[in-house]
A and B are shown apart, each in its own frame.
Chain A
Amino acid sequence: MPIEAPAAVPPPPPAVGARFEAVVLPWLDAAWNLARWLARDDADAQDVVQEAMLRALRYFDSFHGGDARVWLLAIVRNTYFTLRAKALPLEPLDEDSHPLVDERATPEALTLLAVDVGSLRQALERLPPPLREALVLRELEECSYKEIATITGQKIGTVMSRLSRARERLRLELAQPARGGATP
């Protein structure tokens, strides 16, 4: 039977302890949400979360209380950026390489046109990763600035300015949905 010989052998189930299950597993959705938004692709997100969970399991001994969600999300984003750097060593991560529209010149009369899930999803996916990450952590995961700073290893001031750039940019994208097309 061809079914018995799958192309990719799934990794064996990891040995998960009861404490890991109780502390870390409740945040699997959060891990997936962040990974999926960063990777923008199910298969890549799968790799990121699988690897991040393995790391979490490996480092779990060094987790001494605190906020397990923040701890796990930090692992997820670091895993994503590590795997991404391996896969695409030439693409810079810095959002400065993505030309931003001059936010200060935004006409005040510009109003949001479409805020349905589909448009929002496309607009979010077009944001450069550092801005997308800040916005997903704040708006979808509802992290405080301090939590975002811990997860991303940035200063709170950086978090604040990234969030405001992310939102201004998102607002522009949504006000001009036809502009540019969906080039990643």
Chain B
Amino acid sequence: MNCDDARRLLHAYLDDELDAAGSAAMAAHLDGCADCAARCREHERLHQALKQPGLYRRAPAALRERWTPRRDTDAPVAQPAPSRRPLAWAAAAGFAGALLLAMPLYHAMQQRGATADVLVDEAVSSHLRSLQPQHLMDVVSTDQHTVKPWFDGRLDFAPRVVDLAGAGFPLAGGRLDALDGRSVAALVYRRRLHVINVYEWPAAAAGASAAQRESRRNGYTVLRWTDAGMHYLAVSDVDPAALREFAADLRRGAGTGDAR
């Protein structure tokens, strides 16, 4: 690949839109060409800068309110009118009122699952905090046999530390963090210039497992799952597909003997 090709394909490469052969050719060229590598780093920096939450515009509350059905507006109508109506009407109105009053609660509960997940918010905040200077790692090592023992005595459980360098997600280190009201192990992996934080902490039930769930916040993807009694939460700004691939590799690794 020459520099003209590299220039043409750089953005598709950064966006993970090249096929494996193209990606490999690009990486090889970047290894050998200082100019293209510098250009690549500039665009990585620009890409990171565009992740700043301040750039994403959120819908104003008034607009959201207008488009959210108002189930409670009918409620006052359904309140029993005083004394002029027969008792049966009052009872019926009371029943209808109870239904109507219960509806927003029901919908609020349904929506909470989709939009207002505190844990996801907390994880994204923690991920952002970890990206500030000096916050990312307490133990810096690409070796799982260094990172895992570091947690001994610092946590009341032994986190599983998997080596995923072969899959393109080298381990960078670990640190203690707090999530969901408890101390958790935070493992830092990298995908090119992106950082992936993986949080691990024990589930309440020993053998608990739960299917993988995906959420997005401010351009960050959050994946959660529970395997063999351990909660996992991975958060990153990498492409969601890459994060899913990472999670699949991690789960495979943690399930086999690789986790030490």
Contact = CB atoms under 8 A, between A and B. Distances in A.
A139 B57 contact: no
Contacts of A101: none
B156 to A, nearest CB: 37
Contacts of A81: none
A108 B35 contact: yes
Contacts of B57: 29, 32-33, 36-37, 45
A83 B115 CA distance: 31
A25 B68 contact: yes
B67 A53 contact: yes
Contacts of A32: 57-60, 63
Given A142-B239, A145-B15, A121 B55 contact: yes
Give chain A's interface secondary structure class: helix
Interface string A9-42: 0100110101001000110110111001100001
Interface string A34-66: 001100001001100110010000000000000
Contacts of B12: 145, 160
A141 B56 CA distance: 8
B8 to A, nearest CB: 8
Interface stretch (B37-45, B185-193, B204-212): B37-45
Give chain B's interface secondary structure class: helix
A176 interface: no
A120 B67 contact: no
Interface in A130-180: 135, 138-142, 144-145, 160, 163-164, 167, 170-171, 174
B58 A120 contact: no
A32 B64 CA distance: 10
Contact of A120 (B39, B49, B60): B49
A112 interface: yes
Q: Name the interface size band of chain A.
A: 35 or more
B47 interface: yes
Contact of A49 (B38, B63, B69, B240): B63
A117 B69 CA distance: 34
A142 B51 CA distance: 10
Given A112-B46, A115-B49, A140-B56, A167 B67 contact: no
10 contacts: A16-B67, A29-B56, A29-B59, A32-B60, A46-B60, A117-B54, A120-B50, A142-B219, A145-B17, A164-B11
Which 5 pairs across A and B sit closest by C-beta, in order of nearness?
A115-B49, A32-B59, A117-B54, A139-B50, A36-B57
Interface of A: 10, 13-14, 16, 18, 21, 25-26, 28-29, 31-33, 36-37, 42, 45-46, 49-50, 53, 104, 108, 111-112, 115, 117, 120-121, 124, 135, 138-142, 144-145, 160, 163-164, 167, 170-171, 174
Given A26-B115, A45-B57, A144-B239, 11 more contacts: A10-B66, A21-B69, A29-B57, A29-B58, A33-B58, A112-B42, A115-B46, A142-B219, A142-B239, A145-B15, A160-B17
